[in-house]
Amino acid sequence: MCGRFAITLPPDAMAQLFEARPDNDLPDVPNYNVCPTDPVHVIRAEDGARRLVAMRWGLVPRWYKAPNDGPPLFNARAETVAEKPAFREAARARRCLIPASGFYEWTKDETGARLPWYIRAKDGAPLAFAGLWQDWTRDGESLRSCTIVTCAAAGEITAIHHRMPVIVARADWAKWLGEAGHGAATLMRPAPEGSLVLHRVGSAVNSNRAAGPDLIAPNSA
């Protein structure tokens, strides 16, 4: 799964990297502790162009009576997105990219205490998570939300967790966004072995209220 991540890239740099036109109401950055239900940066294709927009992290299906009518669907399993009613239409027609600088996962020590880890690209480049998005409208209220697609972990990630976000390589962005024909399903796989690095960080990030660059600083304790 992917339940927390960090984004430090300024919006203008994101727009340039993804060749997208930025909206004006984008979330503040840097944010070292992005949590489910927070607004996040999303790249989607629209009328032959890319846009950098804000969406709620935690997909809200159309049949929810309110955004909190069910659990926040912040992850979608790659193995079942084509079948699950909440995701299957979006998997065909509403795919997006969600930029991140890195993400967190947790292990437990012998006492059951949660030990956080920070994972990022080995070369320091931003990550692009595979995402799906959805419009929700009810009684005059509307919301645009998204979810991060996950797959079975591979390589170095297996030492700490059995799942990981699908990370789309730059060469495949157009295919995932639907700009370059079919075959997006083939991209729902783990990142190449050796492309990610990870280190232990302090327990402060266990709180969804924690903030600041110290959250991603190495901590061997």
What pLDDT, on a 0 to 100 scale, did the predictor assign at position 112? 86
As a whole number of angstroms, the distance between CA 95 and CA 25 comes to: 21
Q: Which positions are annotated as active-site residues?
A: 2, 105
Flag whether 174 is in a domain: yes
AA letter at 39:
P
Three-state SS sequence of 169-186: CHHHHHHHCCCCCCCHHH
Flag whether 138 is in a domain: yes
Flag whether 80 is in a domain: yes
Range of the domain at 25: 5-216
Query: Which bin fits 176, alpha (ψ -120 to 50), beta or left (φ > 0)?
Result: alpha
Query: What's the start-to-end Cα distance of the chain, in Å?
Result: 24
How does pLDDT run along the chain (221 residues), one tens digit per residue? 789 999 999 999 999 999 999 999 999 999 999 999 999 999 999 988 999 999 999 999 999 999 999 988 999 999 999 999 999 999 999 999 999 999 999 999 889 899 999 999 999 999 999 999 999 999 889 999 999 999 999 998 999 999 999 999 999 999 999 999 889 999 999 999 999 999 999 999 999 999 999 999 998 66
Flag whether 221 is in a domain: no
pLDDT tens digits, one per residue of 98-135: 999 999 999 998 898 999 999 999 999 999 999 999 99
Give, in order, the Cα–Cα distances in Å from 154 to each of 77, 83, 190: 15, 24, 6
Flag whether 102 is in a domain: yes
CATH number of the structural domain spanning residue 155: 3.90.1680.10
User: Residues near 39 by Cβ (< 8 Å), separated by ≥ 6?
Assistant: 27, 54, 55, 56, 57
Flag whether 189 is in a domain: yes
Structure tokens at 110: 């012998």
Please name which of 126, 141, 147 lies closest in space to residue 42, comparing C-alpha atoms.
Answer: 147
The domain tally of the chain equals 1
What pLDDT, on a 0 to 100 scale, did the predictor assign at position 70? 92
What pLDDT, on a 0 to 100 scale, did the predictor assign at position 72? 85
What pLDDT, on a 0 to 100 scale, did the predictor assign at position 5? 98
CA 63 to chain centre: 23
What pLDDT, on a 0 to 100 scale, did the predictor assign at position 219? 86
What pLDDT, on a 0 to 100 scale, did the predictor assign at position 221? 60
Q: Which helix (H) or strand (E) holds 5?
A: strand 5-7
